[in-house]
C-alpha cells in the first residue's frame, strides 16, 4: 500500500451484538435489551484521498471516490452508505486506506453489517474530527442502512454497538433512545448458536412484518407500540392482531426481563426468554425448524432459557446457562449435524465495550 504508514494508522474495534430480548419491537419504537459481544470487526486504516479497502474475511477489495457513491450490492455499500449520510448532513470527510478483518461471523444475525458501518464511522469521527456523539453515530449508521443499503431495520443493533459495556446488557427505549445499563452477573453464561442457515427471504419477510406492524399502528393512531392497549387489538384484522399482539407481549417481557436481571432472579429471566421464543415462533412466525431444534436441545441440556436472536428465519439463537456451556455446545452441535447439513457453530460470549479506537 503506497500511503501506508504503520505508525500512523488507527485501529478500530467494533463489536457485534446479540439481543437478549425485545425482538421485532424496535421498528415500532418499543423496548429492547441487547448487548455488544466480544466478537469484533477490526479496521486498520490511514487517511487517504479515496477510499481503498480490503476485507480479509471476504478476500475482496474495493475502492471509490468519496464524491461518487453508487450502490453496487456488495459489502462496500455499507461503507458508501456512511459517506452518503455524512455528506447529506453536511460533513466534509476524505477517504481512507486500510484493511478489515475480525472474528465476528458475517451474515449470521450478529449484526456484522452494523459493526462494519460503525467501524467506518468511528474511524472517520476520530480522523476527521467530526465530534459525533454516540447516539448520533447510531442514528447515522441506521440511516445508512435504511436509505442507502435499502434494509429498513430499526435502531437496536446500532445502539448496542455504540453503547456496549463490559458486564452489562442495555435496556433501550427505542422511541426516545433513553437507555439504562443492566449488570449481567458473571455466573450467567451466554452461548450463541449460529444455525448456518442463510435465508434469502429474510429481507423480504422482515419488510413484510414491519409493514404489518406499521399498518396496525396507523389504524390505531399510535406512534409507538408502547402506547397500544391490548383491548385496541380488536379494531385490527386478524393478521395485524396476531403480529401486534406479539409485540405488546414482547415489550412487557423486556421490562420483566430487565427487572428479573436486576433482582438476580436468573431462573425467571430464563423462563421469560424461552416464552419469547415460543411467541416469536407461533405468533410472529419468524422461526424455522433449525432454530426450534436448537432451542429444545439447549433446554434439554440444562439451559435456563433459549431463543432465536435477531431477525430470525435462520441466523443465530442464544441460550443462557448457569455453568460453563461448552459441553452442551459440543453435544448440541453433534445432534444438529445428524439432522441438518448446514455449517453450524457456537460461541460463548461476554458483554463487550462498544465501538472504539483500540490498541491491541
Ligand atoms: C434485525 C434489525 C433490528 C431488529 C431485529 C429484530 O436485527 O436490524 O433492527 O429489528 O432484526 O429484533
Q: Do 178 and 30 share a domain, yes or no?
A: yes
Grid cell at residue 129: 474530527
Whether 354 is in the pocket of ligand 1, judged by its Cβ within 6 Å, is no
- DSSP code string of 30-74: -EEEEEEEEEEEEEEEEEESSEEEEETTTTEEEEE-TT-----SS
Instruction: Report the DSSP pairing between strands 189-194 and 345-349.
Output: antiparallel
Q: Which residues are catalytic?
A: 157
Domain that holds residue 251: 184-349
Are 228 and 222 within 8 A, CB to CB? yes
Residue that is last in its domain, among 182, 203, 222: 182
Q: Per the structure block, which three cell numbers stand in for 96?
A: 481512507
Please name the residue that has the C-alpha cell 479506537: 357
What separation in Å is there between the alpha carbon of 153 and the centre of ligand 1?
Answer: 6
Asked if residue 264 and residue 247 are part of one domain, the reply reads yes
Both 198 and 165 in a single domain? no
Residue 5: the pLDDT is 56
Residues 73 and 151 in one domain: yes
Grid coordinates 404489518 are at which residue? 212
Q: Is 359 exposed, middle or buried (0-12, 13-18, 19+ CB in 10 A)?
A: exposed
Q: Which of 153, 207, 211, 247 maximizes ligand 1 atoms within 8 Å of its Cβ, making it the mutation to test the pocket?
A: 153
Query: What local confidence, expressed as pLDDT, does residue 359 receive?
Result: 80
3-state helix, strand, coil in the chain (%, to 5): 45, 25, 35
Cell of 247: 409485540
Beta strand 60-64 pairing with 168-173: unpaired
CA contacts within 13 A on the Cβ side of 228: 34
Q: Does residue 338 share a domain with residue 201?
A: yes
The C-alpha atoms of residue 87 and residue 82 are separated, in whole angstroms, by 9
Q: What is the full per-residue pLDDT of the chain (360 aa) written as tens digits?
A: 445 555 578 999 999 999 999 999 999 999 999 999 999 999 999 999 999 999 999 999 999 999 999 999 999 999 999 999 999 999 999 999 999 999 999 999 999 999 999 999 999 999 999 999 999 999 999 999 999 999 999 999 999 999 999 999 999 999 999 999 999 999 999 999 999 998 766 788 999 999 999 999 999 999 999 999 999 999 999 999 999 999 999 999 999 999 999 999 999 999 999 999 999 999 999 999 999 999 999 999 999 999 999 999 999 999 999 999 999 999 999 999 999 999 999 999 999 999 999 986
Could you tell me if the CB of 154 is within 6 A of ligand 1?
Answer: yes
Alpha-carbon Rg for the chain, nearest whole angstrom, is 20
**How many CB atoms are closer than 10 A to CB 338?**
6
Q: Is the dihedral of CA 218, 220, 223, 225 positive or negative?
A: negative
Tell me the CATH number at 253. Answer: 3.30.70.890
How are beta strands 51-55 and 95-102 bridged, if at all? parallel
Alpha carbon nearest to ligand 1 atom 1, residue? 311
Predicted confidence at residue 2, as pLDDT, reads 47
Does 259 map to a domain?
Answer: yes
Q: CATH number of the domain that 35 lies in?
A: 3.30.230.10
Whether 177 and 256 map to the same domain: the answer is: no
Tell me: do 177 and 188 sit in the same domain: no
pTM (predicted TM-score): 0.96
Amino acid at each position: 500500500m503506497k500511503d501506508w504508514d504503520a505508525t500512523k494508522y488507527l485501529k478500530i474495534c467494533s463489536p457485534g451484538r446479540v439481543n437478549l430480548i425485545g425482538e421485532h419491537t424496535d421498528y415500532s419504537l418499543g423496548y429492547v435489551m441487547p448487548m455488544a459481544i466480544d466478537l469484533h470487526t477490526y479496521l486498520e486504516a490511514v487517511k487517504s484521498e479515496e477510499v481503498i479497502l480490503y476485507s480479509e474475511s471476504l478476500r475482496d477489495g474495493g475502492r471509490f471516490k468519496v464524491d461518487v457513491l453508487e450502490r453496487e450490492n456488495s459489502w462496500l455499500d455499507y461503507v458508501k452508505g456512511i459517506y452518503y449520510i455524512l455528506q447529506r448532513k453536511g460533513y466534509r470527510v476524505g477517504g481512507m486506506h486500510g484493511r478489515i478483518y475480525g472474528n465476528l461471523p458475517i451474515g449470521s444475525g450478529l449484526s456484522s453489517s452494523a459493526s462494519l458501518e460503525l467501524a467506518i464511522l468511528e474511524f472517520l469521527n476520530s480522523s476527521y474530527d467530526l465530534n459525533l456523539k454516540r447516539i448520533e453515530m447510531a442514528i447515522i449508521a441506521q440511516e445508512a442502512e435504511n436509505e442507502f443499503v435499502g434494509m429498513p431495520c430499526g435502531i437496536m443493533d446500532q445502539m448496542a454497538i455504540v453503547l456496549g459495556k463490559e458486564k452489562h446488557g442495555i435496556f433501550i427505549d427505542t422511541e426516545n433512545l433513553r437507555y439504562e445499563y443492566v449488570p449481567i452477573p458473571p455466573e450467567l453464561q451466554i452461548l450463541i448458536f449460529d444455525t448456518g442457515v442463510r435465508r434469502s427471504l429474510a429481507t423480504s419477510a422482515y419488510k413484510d412484518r414491519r409493514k404489518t406492524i406499521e399498518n396496525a399502528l396507523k389504524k390505531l393512531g399510535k406512534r409507538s407500540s408502547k402506547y397500544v392497549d391490548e383491548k385496541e387489538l380488536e379494531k385490527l384484522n386478524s393478521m395485524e392482531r396476531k403480529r401486534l399482539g406479539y409485540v405488546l407481549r414482547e415489550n412487557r417481557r423486556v421490562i420483566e426481563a430487565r427487572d428479573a436481571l436486576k433482582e438476580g432472579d436468573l431462573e425467571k429471566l430464563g423462563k421469560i426468554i424461552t416464552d419469547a421464543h415460543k411467541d416469536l415462533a407461533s405468533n410472529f412466525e419468524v422461526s424455522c425448524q433449525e432454530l426450534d431444534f436448537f432451542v429444545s436441545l439447549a433446554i434439554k441440556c440444562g439451559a435456563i432459557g433459549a431463543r432465536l436472536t435477531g431477525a430470525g428465519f435462520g441466523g443465530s439463537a442464544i441460550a443462557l446457562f448457569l455453568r460453563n456451556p461448552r459441553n452442551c455446545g459440543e453435544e448440541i452441535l453433534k445432534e444438529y449435524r445428524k439432522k441438518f447439513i448446514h455449517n453450524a457453530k457456537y460461541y460463548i460470549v461476554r458483554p463487550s465495550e462498544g465501538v472504539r479506537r483500540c490498541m491491541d
